[in-house]
Structure 1
């Protein structure tokens, strides 16, 4: 079994009976287009909340209910996918990690990559009874407003994973711009090769020897970048769940591209 947080479609095909596959697309896609055999459907909007325990998280009780309804136990090995290069699936996995799930993996290449060479089905999956225990994560990457504010005066690399136009309109002082889509290949729909990923990151000064703090608008896009950095072996990666939504609400300083 793999220890990598990212797994290939061929790896998943060889281990379907050993993992719990989670499809986070909308229900009409899951039912109408088809899905990976045995996958359960937990649509993105069901584990997303603007009024949860920590920013955009759904809340521990809601998460527990969602997992038990999907037949997922606390110790299941999860592999999640979507059809958007993995950004929504990554959000599911980061959410699971923050609620103490310890064995999570992203399908490299999303549903389209699977569909090119592997069987799909429209059959309803079996959902066995499950008991899900929300736990404290072994080590939480979450940082809050005060942590990020203090980091502005350190050598931490603060990374804005939004599009260049959004960055230009206003970003955290000193933040590096890295659109999360720069890390995916439009043809394979998965991650670019590791050497290319490392080159892109190094060019931006995002290196494993420095503390990295990620933010976007609502913590969806940074979920994908977080998974990529963990895949590459980065150890000090912090996750600003509140992102710019909270930063603006609390009056945090911003600079425009012209200011920078």
Structure 2
């Protein structure tokens, strides 16, 4: 079983193992055209993958293959059958050791980590520092399209409790045993800047641990666990409470969830719709300041 965080050195040591399934998960969010009504454009990271990737890696297109196509919201968890086909098509089976990485931020990798965990797949790790740290250390790169892996049979064993909707999140906002944490930056949490999602502000009662503060700005690696725990505890997040994390589109919140999981918090869930849904729904309360 892999540690759920793998270093560049550890990856280099196992890179030729036949059961390894290594994936670049990068997506880019670019400004949407004026008047489009969209918070941003989602652009597959395939172009940067082809410009340079960890040797042997394949590419996973989150919005293209691994999100619900039947909703206007970005990146929503699709049905299990779609995910079984998609992961199986990329060679993932029960015998696989999956390692995920991104460029610029680990949030795309932690999103896939969360999805796989929710499907009952445990042998999955995130590369600390992603491609940024790999390149910083002068390690080898491969260019060109993905060679891919031999298709396999991926059998999901879905687990409850990994995702909540807006109704469950609203109900939880008044439950003393639950704490809701916003992974967006503090200016968006406070509603001090216009939001690309709709109404500025946050889910009422939520606290703020920005995903960006949990990463080293130079190497893109995660901060030490002790430092992360200090940040969470400063916001009243304790192991006896259920934690619901959210952000703009259910992506950066998985950085918070990844570190909370590694710290031994086990009652964790993700509000998948996040502010992309909440801010647009006038029936839901919003808080600023």
Shorter-chain TM-score tier: 0.7 to 0.9
What TM-score does the superposition give when structure 1 sets the normalisation length?
Answer: 0.88
| TM-superposition CA deviations, 1:66-124 (whole Å, max 9, x none) | 22332222442211001122011111222222333232211110101112332222264
Distance 2:76 2:253 in 1: 13
| TM-superposition CA deviations, 1:119-153 (whole Å, max 9, x none) | 2222643521311223313x532223332222222
Structure 1 residues without counterparts, runs of 5 or longer: none
Aligned to 1:20: 21
Distance 1:7 1:250 in 2: 42
1:40 to 54, 58, 73: 58
Q: Quick check: 2:136–2:219 contact (8 Å CA) kept in 1?
A: no
TM alignment of 1:120-199, pairs within 5 A:
120-122=141-143, 124-137=146-159, 139-155=160-176, 156-169=178-191, 170-199=201-230
Q: Quick check: 2:243–2:269 contact (8 Å CA) kept in 1?
A: yes
Structure 2 residues without counterparts, runs of 5 or longer: 27-44, 192-200
Structure 2 vs 1, CA of residues 115 and 159 (structure 1 numbering), >3 Å: closer, same or farther? same
Aligned to 2:113: 93
Aligned to 1:221: 252
Q: Quick check: 1:75–1:102 contact (8 Å CA) kept in 2?
A: no
| TM-superposition CA deviations, 1:163-218 (whole Å, max 9, x none) | 12221221111110121100000122101111211111122222223221111121
Distance 2:267 2:124 in 1: 19
Aligned to 1:76: 96
- Which is further off, 106-115 or 58-67? 58-67
Structure 2 vs 1, CA of residues 232 and 73 (structure 1 numbering), >3 Å: closer, same or farther? same
Kindly report structure 1 stretches of 4+ aligned residues shifted beyond 6 Å: none
Q: Quick check: 2:21–2:91 contact (8 Å CA) kept in 1?
A: no
Distance 2:237 2:136 in 1: 33
Once superposed, what is the RMSD of the aligned Cα atoms? 2.2
Distance 2:165 2:49 in 1: 35
1:30 to 46, 49, 52: 49
